[in-house]
């Protein structure tokens, strides 16, 4: 299945997939807001998006990465912020292929690792991550301060 770095030509498909992703997490956003957000990410280059397509070109899923620096490792790393596979394409290896594309990108850019977080209820995602060698952190807690 073809996976490539997403660009402006992929925006319409990304908006649709991202809307479904947000719906999975029960977050309501308008298509216009999603398009503005993703267009800004692509334009600014402050995230890296990969999109998976089937042989006919149908968009199946995406992964979005943000670069950061690991203060403890003193090296660059990537935050795997978003991973989504359309309902119809699940259990076909799309998520694994996207995760592998993220890993290849991280390795190619000299990153020391990939970090992600997921909902406690996302058991399918957790199983995938652990199967691919990700280790659940048992040392640090994640905190969030809402400024809304």
Please tell me the predicted confidence (pLDDT) of residue 141. 87
What gap in Å lies between CA 36 and CA 131, rounded to an integer?
A: 34
DSSP 52: E
What gap in Å lies between CA 148 and CA 137, rounded to an integer?
A: 28
Q: What is the pTM of this model?
A: 0.93
Please tell me the predicted confidence (pLDDT) of residue 1. 81
CATH C-level class of 3-131? alpha beta
Question: What is the mean pLDDT of the segment spanning 75-98?
Answer: 96
Calculate the alpha carbon distances from 3 to 20, 51, 94, 118, 125 in Å.
Answer: 19, 6, 9, 22, 19
Please tell me the predicted confidence (pLDDT) of residue 145. 85
Burial 122-147 (b: 16+ CB within 10 A, else e): eeebeebbeeeebeeeeeeeeeeeee
- Is residue 77 predicted with pLDDT exceeding 90? yes
Query: pLDDT tens digit string along 2-21?
Result: 999 999 999 999 999 999 99
Output the average pLDDT for the chain. Answer: 95
Query: pLDDT tens digit string along 52-69?
Result: 999 999 999 999 999 999
What gap in Å lies between CA 66 and CA 84, rounded to an integer?
A: 16
């Amino acid at each position: 299945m073809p996976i490539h770095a997403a660009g402006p030509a992929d925006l319409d498909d990304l908006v649709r997939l991202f809307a479904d992703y947000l719906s999975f997490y029960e977050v309501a956003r308008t298509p216009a807001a999603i398009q503005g957000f993703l267009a800004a990410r692509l334009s600014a280059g402050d995230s890296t998006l990969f999109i998976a397509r089937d042989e006919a070109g149908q968009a199946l899923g995406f992964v979005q990465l943000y670069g950061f620096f690991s203060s403890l490792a003193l090296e660059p790393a990537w935050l795997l912020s978003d991973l989504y596979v359309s309902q119809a394409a699940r259990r076909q290896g799309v998520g694994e292929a996207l995760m592998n594309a993220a890993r290849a990108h991280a390795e190619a850019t000299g990153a020391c690792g990939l970090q992600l977080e997921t909902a406690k209820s996302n058991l399918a995602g957790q199983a995938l991550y652990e199967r691919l060698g990700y280790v659940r952190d048992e040392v640090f807690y994640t905190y969030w301060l809402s400024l809304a």
